[in-house]
A and B are shown apart, each in its own frame.
Chain A
Amino acid sequence: MKSSSPDFQFLSKKAKEIRGEILKMVHRANSGHLGGSLGSADLLVALYYHIMQHNPDNPGWDKRDRFILSKGHCTPVIYAILADIGYFPKEDLLTFRRPGSHLQGHPYQPKTPGIEASTGTLGLGISTAMGMALAAKLKGESHHYYVLCGDGEIQEGQVWEAAMFANKYELNNVVAFVDRNYLQTDGHSEDIMPLDPLAPKWESFGWQVHTIDGHNYSQIIETVQMAKRSSKPTMIIANTIKGKGVSFMENQVEWHGKPTSQDEFDLAISQLNN
Chain B
Amino acid sequence: MAEEIPNLVVLDADVAKATQTCDFQAVYPDRFFNCGVQEQNMFSVAAGLALEGFIPFASTFGVFATCRAGDQLRNSIAYPKLNVKIGATHCGITTGGDGASHQANEDIAITRSLPNMTILVPGDYEEAKQVTRFAAFYKGPVYLRFGRDAYPIIPLIHSPIAVGKGKLLQEGLDITLISTGIMVSEVLIAAELLLTKGISSRVIHMPCVKPLDQDIVIKAARETRGIVTAEEHSIIGGLGEAVAGTVSQFQPTWVERIGIADVFGESGQAGELMDKYGLRAKNIVDAVFRILEK
Within 8 A of A (CB), among B66-104: 71-72, 75-76, 79-81
Residues of A within 8 A of B75 (CB): 118-121, 124
Could you say which of B33, B38, B44, B49 contacts A124, with CB atoms under 8 Å apart? Answer: B44
- The docked-state distance in angstroms from the alpha carbon of A130 to that of B130 is 31
Contact B81 A131 (CB under 8 A): no
| B77 nearest in chain A by CB position | A118
Residues of B within 8 A of A129 (CB): 48
Q: Mark B21-57, 1 if CB is under 8 A from A, else 0.
A: 0000000001001011010110011111111111010
Binding site for A on B (CB under 8 A): 9, 30, 33, 35-36, 38, 40-41, 44-54, 56, 71-72, 75-76, 79-81
Contact A127 B51 (CB under 8 A): no
Contact A127:B40 (CB < 8 A) given known A117-B47, A134-B49: yes
Contact B41 A161 (CB under 8 A): yes
The residue among B46, B47, B81 with the most chain A CB atoms within 10 A of its own CB is B47
Query: Top 5 A-B pairs ranked by shortest CB distance?
Result: A131-B48, A127-B44, A135-B52, A161-B41, A131-B45
Stretch from A28-36, A108-116, A265-273 that touches the partner? A108-116
Additional pairs, 4, CB under 8 Å, beyond known A157-B40, A158-B72: A127-B48, A130-B48, A131-B56, A135-B49
- The docked-state distance in angstroms from the alpha carbon of A183 to that of B218 is 56
Contact B80 A135 (CB under 8 A): no
Interface residues on A, range: 20 to 34
Residues of B within 8 A of A139 (CB): 52
Residues of A within 8 A of B44 (CB): 123-124, 127-128, 130-131, 158, 162
Contact A165:B80 (CB < 8 A) given known A132-B49, A135-B48: no
**Interchain residue pairs with CB less than 8 A apart (20):** A108-B80, A109-B80, A110-B80, A117-B80, A120-B75, A123-B40, A124-B75, A128-B45, A131-B47, A131-B50, A131-B51, A132-B52, A134-B49, A135-B53, A138-B30, A157-B40, A158-B41, A161-B36, A165-B45, A168-B36
Contact A131 B40 (CB under 8 A): no
Q: Mark A151-191, 1 if CB is under 8 A from B, else 0.
A: 00000011001101100110000000000000000000000
- The docked-state distance in angstroms from the alpha carbon of A134 to that of B53 is 12
- The docked-state distance in angstroms from the alpha carbon of A118 to that of B80 is 7
| B44 nearest in chain A by CB position | A127
Contact A132:B38 (CB < 8 A) given known A108-B79, A118-B76, A118-B80: no
Whether a CB of chain B sits under 8 angstroms from the CB of A136 is: yes
Residues of B within 8 A of A81 (CB): none
Contact A164 B36 (CB under 8 A): yes
Contact B72 A124 (CB under 8 A): yes
| A157 nearest in chain B by CB position | B40
Contact A134:B40 (CB < 8 A) given known A124-B75, A165-B35: no
| A141 nearest in chain B by CB position | B52
The residue among B41, B47, B53 with the most chain A CB atoms within 10 A of its own CB is B41
| B46 nearest in chain A by CB position | A131
Q: How close is A138's CB to chain B, nearest CB, in angstroms?
A: 7
Contact A161 B40 (CB under 8 A): yes
The residue among B9, B30, B40, B46 with the most chain A CB atoms within 10 A of its own CB is B40
| A107 nearest in chain B by CB position | B80
Residues of B within 8 A of A108 (CB): 79-80
| A163 nearest in chain B by CB position | B41
- The docked-state distance in angstroms from the alpha carbon of A109 to that of B45 is 15
Q: How close is A67's CB to chain B, nearest CB, in angstroms?
A: 13
Residues of B within 8 A of A132 (CB): 48-49, 51-52
Whether a CB of chain B sits under 8 angstroms from the CB of A133 is: yes
Contact A127 B45 (CB under 8 A): yes
Contact A127 B41 (CB under 8 A): yes
Could you say which of B36, B49, B71, B80 contacts A131, with CB atoms under 8 Å apart? Answer: B49
The residue among A136, A165, A169 with the most chain B CB atoms within 10 A of its own CB is A165
Contact A130 B33 (CB under 8 A): no
Could you say which of A119, A133, A165 contacts B41, with CB atoms under 8 Å apart? Answer: A165
